[in-house]
Amino acid sequence: MDFKLTEEQKLIQKYRGAIREERTAAAGRRLSEAGRAVFAPGAPPRRELDPDIREVLVRRARQVGLWALELPESAGGSAMSMMARVLIPREFGRTILPFEPLCIPALMAENNHVNEIVDGKLALGFAFDEVHKTGTLQSIRTRYREIAGGYSLSNAGIDVIEPGSDLYLFPAKEEGTERVGLFLLDKNTPGVSVGDEVDLTTDASVGRMTLRDCKLRSEQLLGYEYEVAAIIAGEQLRIAARSLGIGMRCLANSIDHARNRVTFGRPLAQRQAIQWMLADLSIDLRTCTWLTLEAAWRADQELPYFHAAALAKKRAVKMAFEAADTAIQIHGGYGVCKEFPFEGFYREARMMRLLYGREGEIDRTIGERFLREGERH
């Protein structure tokens, strides 16, 4: 495997840093001011970018080709490799600001709504709650059946992240078989109801979506098992990459604080317990980096990568959670203050551990595969 960056990837590193840093300070100040001005004491403020700042970030990202990363250029995207799509969220993961370049699955390229999604006029969500526990297709309970001119979908209700989305990619199993279909669902379709919205973290919410004999047209079926599995693997790698960014930021800030913070006449960096914590975090971060890069490389080489993506996600989000915890401990009281990013990282990593395969379920799935197939990929 050759992990040396191509010239294109070097340019991506250059420009994503400029975009990430260009507005961070100003956005942070305005977020802080908005929180004091708008939210009542005790209310959990949502990390929402000022609309003007978001507009500038989106415009800059589109100017340098860091938008709609998976779509072909003909559909308004950047058609980037999986390796590039890992480098970008890794860098944005280093900032607590709720912004990341839009990534739309390539299978949406020919859809009538793609231009509106790229331009931000419509929001696309993933109704993948039924696969969050295992990260596999076996847990899907929503059923579809073929009817004249299309399909009918029904379920007993699932949780959806960001219930305010206009369109959803929705996996379901065919009645009487185990065949999985991937559908594009409009929230305003008769039979669709979304309610009971609650905050998960300061920048994400969840609602309950129920389908009752929801009728879809034939063209709203976009794919089958492979397409669903590819979206799961892509999201797992995006989460793994963002987790790497969290780990990098926590490690860098903790090292800097340990060097400069003096207690009882000595810097924290001279205390063995602190050295152990930083060494363990550095090792975990490097391990997760290689796992994530390997999975991305396999995807770009058109090799099987679904299990590699699951393993990278499993290890990386756990590392990010522990990195935030380590940073909080090293920074002491500062670590839990909202002026520092670590409490936000802690909550974000906790939520990411629950998405697209929980750790125990990924261990079980990959363990069963190793016992069945050995270590061949």
How high is the pLDDT of residue 15? 54
- Amino acid identity of residue 344, one-letter, is G
Query: What percent of the chain has pLDDT above 70?
Result: 84
The angle at the Cα of 76, spanning 72 to 77, to the nearest 5 degrees, equals 50
Task: For residue 197, report the phi and psi dihedrals to the nearest 5 degrees.
Answer: -75, 130
Question: Regarding predicted confidence, which is higher, 20 or 264?
Answer: 264
**pLDDT band at 38, cuts 50/70/90?**
very low
Query: CA-CA distance, 269 to 49, in Å (whole number)?
Result: 36
Query: What is the mean predicted confidence (pLDDT) over 348-353?
Result: 88
E-strand ranges in the chain read: 124-126, 143-147, 150-154, 158-161, 167-174, 180-186, 192-201, 204-211, 214-217, 221-223, 262-263, 266-267
Contact 179, 225 (CB under 8 A): yes
How high is the pLDDT of residue 8? 61
> What pTM was estimated for this model as a whole?
0.86
**pLDDT band at 190, cuts 50/70/90?**
very high
Q: How far apart are the first and last CA of the chain?
A: 14
> Which is it for the CA torsion 319, 289, 299, 19, positive or negative?
positive
Average pLDDT of the chain?
A: 85
- For the segment 97-133, what is each residue's pLDDT rounded down to a tens digit? 778 888 899 999 989 999 999 998 999 998 888 887 7
Residue 212 CB burial class (10 angstroms; 0-12, 13-18, ≥19): middle
- For the segment 257-270, what is each residue's pLDDT rounded down to a tens digit? 999 999 999 999 99
Query: What is the mean predicted confidence (pLDDT) over 332-354?
Result: 89
Domains and CATH numbers, the chain: 7-107 (1.10.540), 124-223 (2.40.110.10), 226-373 (1.20.140.10)
Residue 29 pLDDT greater than 50, yes or no: no
- Strand 204-211 relative to strand 158-161: parallel, antiparallel, unpaired? antiparallel
Query: What percent of the chain has pLDDT above 90?
Result: 51
Residue 89 three-state SS: helix
Instruction: For 204-231, give the DSSP string.
Output: EEEEEEEESSEEEEGGGEEE-HHHHHHH
Query: What is the mean predicted confidence (pLDDT) over 56-62?
Result: 86
- Amino acid identity of residue 42, one-letter, is G
Contact 184, 201 (CB under 8 A): no
Query: CA-CA distance, 128 to 111, in Å (whole number)?
Result: 20
Residue 67 pLDDT greater than 70, yes or no: yes
DSSP state of 100: -
Residue 179, token pair as written in the block? 């065949």
Residue 313: closest CA among 237, 242, 247: 237
Residue 177, token pair as written in the block? 């078989």
Helix (H) or strand (E) holding 349: helix 342-352
